[in-house]
Amino acid sequence: MFTGIITALGTVRAIEPLGDGKDMRLVIAAPWDDTAAIALGASIACSGCCLTAVELRPDCFAVDASAETLACTTLGTWVPGTRVNLERSLKVGDELGGHIVSGHVDGVGKAMSKTPENGSIRWRFQVPKDLARFIAAKGSVAIDGVSLTVNDVQGDTFGVNIIPHTASVTRFGTLAPGDAVNIEIDMLARYVARLAETK
């Protein structure tokens, strides 16, 4: 489990095919003081996708991504040099600064526009229609693993505001309209909708 509060901005260093070439090993450089101290098998959210650390080096770690993960997230488009939002898994007693994020990506959205608004940037995103019903104004959503509050919803698009600090410590600083992003809907919204369907 994660909070959606990004703790580092990493960079894809290498992508290595596994087995028949459909699965991939991603080597990600991270600015943490001692990456080698991460426990082998630890969960790390990589732009919102929960992945398992399978190899550790002093300045980077490696994770394996299955063909399913590559097809259902933005990971299949990553190349060496791609910037990656990173968050280590939540420990009992840690501050819950964002919202509960599972690291299970629900779908891929698209950045539609960015507009300066006072001291922040209003971003609009489009999501697949089957996810749009789970996104509500003043609710939570994770975009590339970043916990955000939804400001408004219009059909299958919604807006969020990104403050300068968030832009400086996440991939939002280099995101551009047209870019694909990983979307995780609020866990509470998912279960409320499921309960409503069973009544």
* pLDDT tens-digit series, residues 35-63: 878 999 999 999 999 999 999 988 999 99
Residue 116 in this model has a pLDDT that exceeds 90: yes
**CATH architecture assigned to 8-88:** Beta Barrel (2.40)
Question: What mean pLDDT value characterizes the chain?
Answer: 92
- What pLDDT shows up at residue 12? 98
DSSP letters spanning the chain: -B-S---EEEEEEEEEEETTTTEEEEEEE--STTGGGSPTT-EEEETTEEEEEEEEETTEEEEEE-HHHHHHSGGGG--TT-EEEEEEPP-TT----S--B-S---EEEEEEEEEEETTEEEEEEE--HHHHTT--TT-EEEETTEEEE--EEETTEEEEEE-HHHHHHSGGGT--TT-EEEEEE-HHHHHHHHHHHH-
Q: Parse the chain into domains and list their residue ranges.
A: 8-88, 107-198
pLDDT at 76: 95
Question: Do 107-198 and 8-88 fall under one CATH topology?
Answer: yes
Q: What are phi and psi of 161, to 5 degrees?
A: -105, 135
Please report which confidence band the pLDDT of residue 111 belongs to, taking 50, 70 and 90 as the band edges.
Answer: very high
Is domain 107-198 annotated with CATH 2.60.120.260?
A: no
Query: How would residue 187 be classed by pLDDT, with cut points 50, 70 and 90?
Result: confident
Confidence at 19, pLDDT banded by 50, 70, 90: confident
pLDDT above 90 covers a percentage of the chain that reads: 80
